[in-house]
Chains A and B, each alone.
Chain A
Amino acid sequence: MSPLSLLLAFVLATPALAERPPQNPDPRPMGPPDPHLDALAGASDLGDWAVSLEAGFPFFGVRGQVATPWAGLNAVGSVNSALFADTWALGGVSMRWVDTHRVVLSGELLVGGTVRTGDLSRRGPAAQTTLRLARGHGRVVPALTLSSRQVLLTDVQVNQTAEGELIERSRAVAWSPVASFDVGVGVCPGFAVSAGLDVPWFDPPGFSLPGAHLNLIVGGWK
């Protein structure tokens, strides 16, 4: 083939190349939105959001996430309570670290506060780091969640002495990890349910009863 015929062939082919549809910006071949996956995976696609309502033993709560245009981050808010006696109100960010057709692995960092009532009452500023591993595609989504919760406990002792009032402060960090396994099912576009088991560990090394929960999940529309 002569150089001239090569040039002619390129010119004729260029319009065809230009008319190709643009590549799907979403790297996951998800098809329709999967709000259950997004909620269980911990982070939504750009333009998406998800809200989940949780009820069970011992945990009740609500969690919302919305994708932001910055660095793939999601803004996350969560209020979670164990039997309405140990309540955590947290906000922060989450992000997908691994996002393939098979799996989604996300990380989450939340800060806020916690209040526990009763004989073992405590309160203080708190933080939670979470890893979520979920199946990356499909109508049924299993997901494993590992959370580590810390609360900063500041105790103040006011001592009245003959010389006046002396104030002593002591600080300690209490750790409460929680592991959960969920299976979510998409009911219809924008609505899903999930059921899961919880293995909380309140104030290690003490023993805590395992639990279970149901989630109602909405969101995910673009």
Chain B
Amino acid sequence: MSRPMLLMLSLSPLLGCVNSRTQWIEVTVTTTLLAEEGLSGPVYGEWNHTWSGEGELRVPLLPFEDFTAEGPGVSTSTFRAPLDGVEGLTLYAWMDLDGDGLHCAPGVTDEPAGLAEALPYPATEAEVTLTLDAPCLGAEALWDGG
């Protein structure tokens, strides 16, 4: 065995020492947004990890990516999600009927919201159908406990 090869073999345990290894999945989600007939407006929301953390620190609905759509209908989103320490993919969205960029600002009581889980997960392609039928409710109020 040559000396350079012997040196490389000797150093390989050190050079190959990895500090951290993180696994991600690039997910393309086809989203179908349903709303009451006659309602239209831009839709805003966020993608959530359905569950994250471990043990006593395990919590539901941790937002990690914004969601926007021009209105009800079918749209596609592509983003990266971690595979370690989280489970599931849940979309929370609401329709901005008055165009103020705020969900149910004071005096507004009719902007519909919805929550739905994308399946399958983890997978590079998933689908979710979300019905915007809950006026002025936040993600926590729509969460059914998983």
Q: Give the docked Cα–Cα distance between A111 and B7 (Å).
A: 14
Q: Give the docked Cα–Cα distance between A111 and B124 (Å).
A: 42
**B interface residue count range (under 10 / 10 to 19 / 20 to 34 / 35 or more):** 10 to 19
B28 CB within 8 Å of chain A: yes
Q: Is the CB of A156 within 8 A of B20?
A: yes
Contact of A125 among B17, B26, B28, B124 (CB under 8 A): B17
How would you classify the secondary structure of chain A's contact residues: helix, strand, loop or mixed? Answer: strand
B146 to chain A, nearest CB (A): 24
Q: Is the CB of A160 within 8 A of B26?
A: yes
Q: Is the CB of B19 within 8 A of A160?
A: no
Contact with A along B7-32 (1 / 0, CB 8 A): 00000001101111111111010000
Q: Is the CB of A154 within 8 A of B19?
A: yes
Q: Give the docked Cα–Cα distance between A162 and B15 (Å).
A: 31
Q: Is the CB of A160 within 8 A of B83?
A: yes
A124 to chain B, nearest CB (A): 5
A5 CB within 8 Å of chain B: no
Asked if A158 meets B24 with Cβ closer than 8 Å, knowing A124-B19, A153-B19, the reply is yes
Interface residues of B in 54-92 (CB under 8 A from A): 80, 83
Contact of A156 among B22, B122, B124, B125 (CB under 8 A): B22
Interface residues of A in 13-34 (CB under 8 A from B): none
A157 CB within 8 Å of chain B: yes
Q: Is the CB of A162 within 8 A of B22?
A: no
Q: Give the docked Cα–Cα distance between A68 and B53 (Å).
A: 53
B23 CB contacts on chain A under 8 angstroms: 157-158, 160
Asked if A154 meets B24 with Cβ closer than 8 Å, knowing A160-B124, A161-B124, A162-B125, the reply is no
A155 CB contacts on chain B under 8 angstroms: 18-22
A9 to chain B, nearest CB (A): 60
B24 CB contacts on chain A under 8 angstroms: 157-160
A35 to chain B, nearest CB (A): 31
B102 to chain A, nearest CB (A): 35
Contact of B18 among A112, A156, A160 (CB under 8 A): A156
Q: Is the CB of B17 within 8 A of A123?
A: yes
A154 to chain B, nearest CB (A): 5
B55 to chain A, nearest CB (A): 15
A92 CB contacts on chain B under 8 angstroms: none
Give the nearest-CB partner of A162 in chain B: B124
**What are 14 A-B pairs with beta-carbon distances under 8 A?**
A111-B14, A122-B20, A124-B17, A124-B19, A154-B19, A155-B20, A155-B22, A156-B20, A156-B21, A157-B24, A159-B80, A160-B83, A160-B124, A162-B26
Q: A-contacting residues of B (Cβ < 8 Å)?
A: 14-15, 17-26, 28, 80, 83, 122, 124-125
